Chain A
């Protein structure tokens, strides 16, 4: 390996720009004559729009236009789509309600946009938006799935009677029922996966421009996947044909899934730019972000796990109801189905699984993929029920898991997934050693002497990344293929540009992707430039989510590098009059093996572009592209162990020890991987202890609509993590990569809740485990102790 190659702990190339405030985000774009947009939003969770009177707003200073939904529809702008078709178990397609970028007659969640103001300044636009008079007829609203499914519940969409979007199933119901019937022991749990707000540091934003002479649009936007955005905007929303629409996602400050989707605001801004004849900018404020960024999770689940007399799992039955909010966001339908139920086998050999998933409309913000997307929900169910089962069976929770681990690969689960490689015991051993598992009872006793309740919790997660292959996801209902593209351009002087369809919004691609080139061509990463995020530069790509950029995006680069290397070798062999098979690439030079003859990358590249002396029939230039479609998902897995201490007087939980042992396959940059794990753990611990949406049951208002009430984890809420990796190489892609972006958020919540329930001696604890909930349980735990 070169100094900058695979496995090197190279500092991030992009950090200089971010740390010195030189990043260029959508809000940094300023165009001549640009107007500012403010949206008029619904204050009600469910209401009919009787009338919109913009006359007063139009009179206000600087106001250019007030635009309404009926105008948008009249101009032929299409409804927002959900890109993954799910069929109910009776074969009927999911029941999708129409979603116009600006509501025309009904609003279905607080914050839904009904009109937009374009003005000379942002302040003028805000002032005018407040002056737009809407006559509302308030309708009854529901915020929970139980209420929405109840007989007589308010109907949210005319297309979806009873608010049930689909009733889907997977697995073998008869076999699972039989396993549970005949089990020696069945563990049953009811759990809730709390609704979360993604809260990336940079809120969403859009700058839209229309060139009337060329009939061409440009959109700068906070997107994780600009090409998909262009495809959807073009093919479904009728903004413009693809060649007349350029989408640029410049520096993007975090996404966590929430920036995958094309939202109403971007659509409306593009339309408005043409309608008013000037470029427009919209930047979400934090309140708008809380109300309109797609939320995550929000499942309620009943699960039953059956064991034989030898404590081996015989069957697993899961019933889940998922809240999709008021509209079906772009990938919302896939999250509680194919991204969730397909992971219910966990790390375990399960002969039979049956899952039934119902998704439901409510008068809440739409829900879609958020860091982990389905896999955190699956892991929470599996790892909570394993822990509860171990307690019921009187077994060490690690021993029960170990007994049921999948140990032979490939392993076909009963729920589609075929695990390709892994060593689950290796991660468990690494985590056990690192936390000194055997020493826990002594630590618990010592904590007790200080009046603290100490608990330990384990979570052995498995997840699926690099969602693929395209043919398979297509057969499951996906509207897109899930491959990636790359182009490697060697410039005449030998520097290299890599164009990728992946998008970096915090992941560090500019460094890791350059490290791959450094490894392959022996050049320094400073001679490599990663180009991404612009549909005019990169031909096509699927973007970044689902921890796919390493396994899929880098594999595409690797394939393009194969082609570049092959051509460069041909040129070098020709120039040095050697056999092509004798050429080796070493330290940035092409050498004839066993001789001192060599040509630098610069010399070969220059020869390719001067074309004065190329092999007969060879085209000039040194530039190659590749598309890579994986053969399977990848399966990162690991073991997290956590220790908490509870102050029983206040219920305050302190996470005192947290060990993460992950198997991510081959690692390109350990420092970046650790950073991804740390961030994921913070989000997972946030979910378990602090974060959670609260809706007012009567009004449907989001009570937790600011950081004053929505509790984001902060540095002092977290321990100093001990993170480590074990490695089994992924056989499914040329680099052996599995993916690391979401594992922390997937694996950690059950570890926390298992530790807390261990400390408290009860299973009756829901996320977020707030101080008050924990205090009440600690009081109850104390009462019998006092009585003894």
Chain B
């Protein structure tokens, strides 16, 4: 790790102030991505602004027909939340499949989506659930938020404060983990809403990160069953291929995970 200056922010405003005008500064949340990257000397922020002690950034609340999950909420808290388990079981299950217990007790939802790793799990959940990302400056629809590999709509000094997730009628997440890293080789989140609409999002597989699968969405809207998606294959040319799996294999996994998610929902 290169030497860096550590700041502990007491509030979101204080954190924003520390970030403003310093494009070499970085927010530190759970540190499960940023710290390993710094230790390997792949990231070298001059300043880290630790937001993990900000109480206002933690907690899960139901408000109307949506849940507000504060950005600093840890994966383990999402996985164990009784309300989420009942109302959005796919999301609680997704959080429970991230990394290992250590990671789940440090890593945060805000950090995960701000990082937008193409193999991370949360982006699939946010996109399929049609979540809204709330920052200290504005609100951004998930469809606009995830902008490519490790790219988001966030500005340099913008801080995610919460996500607002509508409660679907049904939801499930099915993940095929990379055997080494245990991130997703392919993870598919399916959500069906009260109005009959369906959203399907896949992570781990896309060459540009998380993506929706419109063919599956319309097929499931008319026939909510695993068979409805069994014959739908995503185009391998837009998928990732690496030593763990070719694009063609990932395309297969997307279909299989979609089937399994629908069966589980």
Binding site for B on A (CB under 8 A): 123, 126-127, 130, 287, 649-652, 690, 694, 703-704, 707-712, 717, 770-772, 775-776
CA distance in complex: A712, B2 (Å): 29
28 contacts between A and B (CB under 8 A): A123-B2, A123-B3, A126-B41, A127-B2, A650-B253, A650-B256, A690-B179, A690-B180, A703-B243, A704-B243, A707-B180, A708-B180, A708-B181, A709-B180, A709-B181, A709-B244, A711-B179, A712-B180, A770-B244, A770-B245, A771-B179, A771-B245, A771-B249, A772-B244, A772-B246, A772-B249, A775-B249, A775-B252
Residues of B within 8 A of A708 (CB): 180-181
- Whether A770 contacts B176 by the Cβ 8 Å rule is no
Residues 231-265 of B at the A interface (beta carbon under 8 Å): 243-246, 249, 252-253, 256
B63 within 8 A of A: no
Asked if A772 meets B181 with Cβ closer than 8 Å, knowing A123-B3, A287-B40, A650-B256, the reply is no
Asked whether B1 is an interface residue with its Cβ less than 8 Å from the other chain, the reply is: yes
A123 engages B252 (CB within 8 Å): no
Given A127-B2, A650-B176, A772 and B245 contact (CB-CB distance below 8 Å)? yes
Extra inter-chain contacts (19) besides given A704-B243, A709-B243, A770-B179, CB under 8 Å:
A123-B1, A123-B2, A123-B3, A127-B2, A130-B41, A649-B252, A650-B176, A650-B252, A650-B253, A651-B249, A694-B243, A703-B243, A707-B181, A709-B180, A711-B179, A772-B245, A772-B246, A772-B249, A776-B249
Residues 1-55 (chain B) with a chain A CB within 8 angstroms: 1-3, 40-41
Closest to B39 in A: A285
Chain B residues within CB distance 8 Å of chain A = 1-3, 40-41, 176, 179-181, 243-246, 249, 252-253, 256
**Which residue from B3, B180, B246, B256 sits with its C-beta under 8 Å from A649?**
B256
Q: Is the CB of B180 within 8 A of A710?
A: yes
Q: How far is the CB of A18 from chain B (nearest CB, A)?
A: 20
Contacts of A776 in B (CB 8 A): 249
Residues of chain A within 8 A (CB-CB) of B244 are 709, 770, 772
Q: Which residues of B contact A711 (CB under 8 A)?
A: 179-180
Report B101 CB to chain A, min CB distance, Å: 13
Contact residues in B for A287 (Cβ distance below 8 Å): 40
CB-defined contacts of B180 to chain A, threshold 8 Å: 690, 707-712
Contacts of A717 in B (CB 8 A): 179
Chain B residues, CB < 8 A from A704? 243
Closest beta carbon of chain A to B99's beta carbon, Å: 12
User: What separation, in Å, do the CA atoms of A105 and B245 have in the docked complex?
Assistant: 39
Query: Which single residue of chain B is at the shortest CB-CB distance from A649?
Result: B256
Residues of chain A lying within 8 A (CB to CB) of residue B181: 707-709
- In the complex, what distance in Å separates the CA atom of A148 from the CA atom of B249? 31
Q: How far is the CB of B39 from chain A (nearest CB, A)?
A: 9
Residues of A within 8 A of B2 (CB): 123, 127
Find the A residue at minimum CB distance from B180: A711
Residues of B close to A709: CB separation below 8 A: 180-181, 243-244
Q: Which residues of the partner chain B approach A651 to less than 8 Å between Cβ atoms? A: 249
Interface core residue of B41, B179, B252, B256 (most chain A CB under 10 Å): B179
Nearest to A779 among chain B residues (CB) is B252
Query: Given the complex of chains A and B, what is the CA–CA distance between A712 and B182 in angstroms?
Result: 11
- Name the residue on B nearest A651 (C-beta): B249
Q: Within the assembled complex, what's the spacing in Å between the Cα atoms of A72 and B1?
A: 29
The 9 closest A-B pairs by CB, nearest first: A711-B180, A772-B249, A708-B181, A649-B256, A711-B179, A772-B245, A694-B243, A709-B180, A690-B179
Q: Give A274 to B11 CA distance when docked, in angstroms.
A: 53
Residue of B whose beta carbon sits closest to that of A710: B180
Residues of B within 8 A of A772 (CB): 244-246, 249
B245 closest partner in A (C-beta): A772
Tell me, in angstroms, the Cα distance from A487 to B147 when the chains sit together.
Answer: 69
Complex: chain A residue closest to B181, CB-CB = A708
A residues less than 8 Å from B243 (CB atoms): 694, 703-704, 709
Closest to A773 in B: B249
Q: Which of A130, A652, A709 has the most CB of B within 10 A?
A: A709
A656 to B159, CA, bound (A): 47
A767 CB to closest chain B CB, in angstroms?
14
CB neighbours (8 Å) of A127 from chain B are 2
Which residues of chain B have C-beta atoms less than 8 A from A126's C-beta?
Answer: 41
Point out the residues of chain B lying under 8 angstroms from A130, CB to CB. 41
* Bound Cα distance from A772 to B245, whole angstroms: 6
Nearest CB of B to A255, in Å: 23
Residues of B within 8 A of A712 (CB): 180
Alpha-carbon separation in the docked complex, A690 to B243 (Å): 12
Q: Which residue of A lies closest to B186 (CB)?
A: A650
A286 — nearest CB in chain B belongs to which residue? Answer: B40
Looking at B2, B40, B41, B180, the one whose CB has the most chain A CB atoms below 10 A away is B180
A711 to B180, CA, bound (A): 4
- B3: chain A residues at CB < 8 Å are 123
Nearest opposing residue in chain B for A287, CB measure? B40
Tell me, rounded to whole Å, the shortest Cβ–Cβ distance linking A779 to chain B.
Answer: 9
Considering the chains assembled together, what is the distance between the CA atoms of A709 and B253 in angstroms?
Answer: 19
CB distance from A693 to the nearest CB of B (A): 10
In whole Å, how far is B247's beta carbon from the nearest beta carbon of chain A? 11
Q: Which residue of B lies closest to A694 (CB)?
A: B243
Complex Cα–Cα for A772 and B251 (A): 12
Bound complex: CA of A123 vs CA of B3, how far in Å?
A: 8
Bound CA span A710–B2, Å: 26
